[in-house]
Chains A and B, each alone.
Chain A
């Protein structure tokens, strides 16, 4: 029997050794398997949320679909992995997901110490507080002595500690692993305050028993630039992740929408020509086809379209563009030019 164990052990050791060399050229891996594995949240309306049939939608989901459209010309070539706030980086670091598009805040630690690269910002957010209207509170500065519910493993946990400490207010923190449990506990009145990114507050409010009884306080206590993330060490994949986002913003800026993209191909505007690949070979330089932006906009739409469809004023979330408007419209969404 011993003679049989040995080769197995050696084989296992070799297997461990073999995985070392397999993480270069993510684009080739993705093309080979035929889909993009995308890490999303476990259910945050407007950002990444499954419906009763298991179809995902949201602004973060649309980004993954845009990535798939750019590579495969098929927005359905995506598989979603729901991840908790705690699991998300490990999943990305280990290569379990190709890209993490999960309302994740861009911070220095994450960008450097964790070996990750943020591909840009698809939603400028900030942390806010939600309370019951019956508390009679109008400002976050009146929250002294409050019990605060939030998620573990998020920047919100740190921000809330900083905020209450800076304003010399005592507080108690109750931190759950899953967003659903936070909502349940807040709904059961375990906490006076629910804190997370403001967009998340609007989204989670829809899940409460009586959404009308709750209000989001005006204070925004932190900067939360949310964006897609990839692993370090593969510049090509990083470029594709970055430029997929830039392409959507540029398309909005140049007035290219899913409805008019085909006719825009005949435009005389040199910027549009370069963007849609009728001039130059910008797609090929990234390892994609030259009509990559056409594919993105045709299947998914430009940045403004995905915003309006998922979180905009006409959706249950009803969030106005605000900071997320284009730079030319008073916001800070700005993408480098394609040229």
Chain B
């Protein structure tokens, strides 16, 4: 008896390995990993075998072959003699441009509508309400078609008198035509002055903040910054002898009909496919952002406003210094999802001939037949863009997060 009792107290009786939870857990983990690895290998192996069997060429060599097709919008040098890889890069840049501008525009519209939705003015709040309910309940593709086909037919033809904004910017079926800045020698000084202005304004802001913390004295930071950022480049521009000139779009009204209208390559042309896609994406996403903003502001308890007013803070600063910083903590995480959605939705561009990654990639896929490689590139690019957006927003979220002491 005594021996047995001692055994029970000292070491627990050793269970068989089969019943040991640690061993079992480890065993199943290993089996699971092996199964996943096997499955992955099997898929890759099968694909390769099947491709070989059907005489379909594979590999990434096609990226250096001449593409031979034109692309209507490209921010990097591209011509028909460039390679497929270059064509895909054009697509990547076009996707980034429309996503980036779309995110900025959607955020601005979304914040305005979100705040308007909470307005005490009945008309403004109901207008915002209607906007949100209509826009977010119509499929995005239909909205893209609406902006492209319906709005496109409403503007003048390429050869008719275009719609003009202050005689500087024009709109017709060929898109938006604006002056193009031409940088001559010496213009780098102006750009340097602009950068210097921004940097100095930033330093002044930090200094003013420190001084206010220490002495309570305020400094007119806004006007100083305004003067620095606008003033410095303007002075540099005048001193260096105005090295930047504007090239206005040229509208030809006579001669052969095909040569009439705005001339390709003179001035800046924003193609209507871009405008339609940008409008559709930002108007659609803005309706979701508006609701997120409303939720964020309403999440801040009304006591905060009352407390601020009790301290004698005016309405504007209350919103700017008390409400918004707290609301941002609620707003940012869902906002990130909307940014990701917008980026991914930009792939609907293919429906209206905007040469984004999916559209250009589709052409490459068809000309080369390398479906798996092209789809792999698509996934990789969208994944990278989404992860980059997430990383940035997470960083911003951490900055805005409540600092607990």
Shortest Cβ distance from B175 into A: residue: A190
Shortest Cβ distance from B28 into A: residue: A2
Is B80 close to A, CB under 8 A? yes
Contacts of B264 in A (CB 8 A): 145, 170, 172
A233–B55 CB distance below 8 A? yes
B50–A20 CB distance below 8 A? yes
Q: A9-B35, A158-B69 are in contact. Are A177 and B362 (CB under 8 A)?
A: yes
Is B368 close to A, CB under 8 A? yes
State the CA gap A230–B135 with chains docked (Å).
45
Query: Mask for A193-233, Cβ within 8 A of B = 1, else 0?
Result: 00000000000000000000000000000000000000111
Is A329 close to B, CB under 8 A? no
Contacts of A19 in B (CB 8 A): 46
Within the complex, the shortest CB–CB distance from A148 to chain B, in Å, comes to 9
A-B contacts counted at CB < 8 A amount to: 159
Is B387 close to A, CB under 8 A? no
B35–A190 CB distance below 8 A? no
State the CA gap A172–B352 with chains docked (Å).
15
Is A239 close to B, CB under 8 A? no
A109–B368 CB distance below 8 A? yes
Contacts of B173 in A (CB 8 A): 188-190
Contacts of A114 in B (CB 8 A): 56, 369
Within the complex, the shortest CB–CB distance from A80 to chain B, in Å, comes to 21
State the CA gap A177–B158 with chains docked (Å).
23
A143–B258 CB distance below 8 A? yes
Within the complex, the shortest CB–CB distance from B237 to chain A, in Å, comes to 33
Shortest Cβ distance from A1 into B: residue: B28
A9–B36 CB distance below 8 A? yes
Within the complex, the shortest CB–CB distance from A202 to chain B, in Å, comes to 23
Shortest Cβ distance from A231 into B: residue: B54
State the main secondary structure of chain B at its contact with A.
helix
Contacts of A273 in B (CB 8 A): none
Task: Pick the interface stretch among B149-157, B220-228, B290-298.
Answer: B149-157
State the CA gap A158–B158 with chains docked (Å).
25
B366–A17 CB distance below 8 A? no
State the CA gap A158–B365 with chains docked (Å).
14
B365–A188 CB distance below 8 A? no
Is B164 close to A, CB under 8 A? no
State the CA gap A157–B355 with chains docked (Å).
13
Query: Mask for B259-289, Cβ within 8 A of A = 1, else 0?
Result: 1000111000000110000000000000000
Shortest Cβ distance from B366 into A: residue: A153
Query: Mask for B47-72, Cβ within 8 A of A = 1, else 0?
Result: 00111011111000000000011111
State the CA gap A181–B359 with chains docked (Å).
14
A158–B68 CB distance below 8 A? yes
State the CA gap A176–B174 with chains docked (Å).
16
Instruction: Using C-beta atoms within 8 Å of the partner chain, give the interface range for chain A.
Output: 35 or more
Contacts of A81 in B (CB 8 A): none
State the CA gap A176–B355 with chains docked (Å).
9
Task: Pick the interface stretch among A61-69, A82-90, A320-328.
Answer: A82-90
Query: Mask for A71-115, Cβ within 8 A of B = 1, else 0?
Result: 000000000000001100110010000000000000001101111
Contacts of A134 in B (CB 8 A): 257
B70–A161 CB distance below 8 A? yes
Within the complex, the shortest CB–CB distance from B349 to chain A, in Å, comes to 10
Task: Pick the interface stretch among B8-16, B37-45, B179-187.
Answer: B37-45
A173–B42 CB distance below 8 A? no
Query: Mask for B137-157, Cβ within 8 A of A = 1, else 0?
Result: 000000000000100110001
Contacts of B35 in A (CB 8 A): 6, 9-10, 13
Q: Which of B70, B157, B365 contacts A171 (CB 8 A)?
A: B70
Within the complex, the shortest CB–CB distance from B377 to chain A, in Å, comes to 15
State the CA gap A134–B258 with chains docked (Å).
10
Is B235 close to A, CB under 8 A? no
Contacts of A13 in B (CB 8 A): 35, 38-39, 42
Among the interface residues B36, B174, B363, which one has the most CB atoms of the partner chain A within 10 A? Answer: B363
Q: A115-B55, A137-B258, A190-B152 are in contact. Are A9 and B39 (CB under 8 A)?
A: yes
Q: A93-B54, A171-B70 are in contact. Are A165 and B46 (CB under 8 A)?
A: no
Shortest Cβ distance from B40 into A: residue: A13
B369–A113 CB distance below 8 A? yes
Q: 29 A-B Cβ contacts within 8 A?
A: A5-B32, A16-B42, A16-B43, A19-B46, A20-B49, A85-B366, A86-B362, A113-B57, A115-B51, A135-B258, A136-B257, A137-B257, A145-B259, A145-B264, A149-B353, A152-B353, A152-B366, A153-B362, A161-B70, A172-B70, A172-B264, A175-B72, A177-B353, A184-B149, A185-B353, A189-B158, A192-B158, A233-B53, A233-B54
Binding site for B on A (CB under 8 A): 2-3, 5-6, 9-10, 12-13, 16-17, 19-20, 23, 85-86, 89-90, 93, 109-110, 112-115, 134-137, 142-147, 149, 152-154, 157-158, 160-162, 165, 170-178, 181, 184-185, 188-190, 192, 231-233
5 interchain residue pairs of minimum CB distance: A153-B366, A114-B369, A115-B55, A115-B56, A173-B70
A-B contacts besides A86-B366, A93-B56, A173-B72, 5 pairs, CB < 8 Å: A9-B35, A20-B49, A153-B367, A176-B352, A190-B272
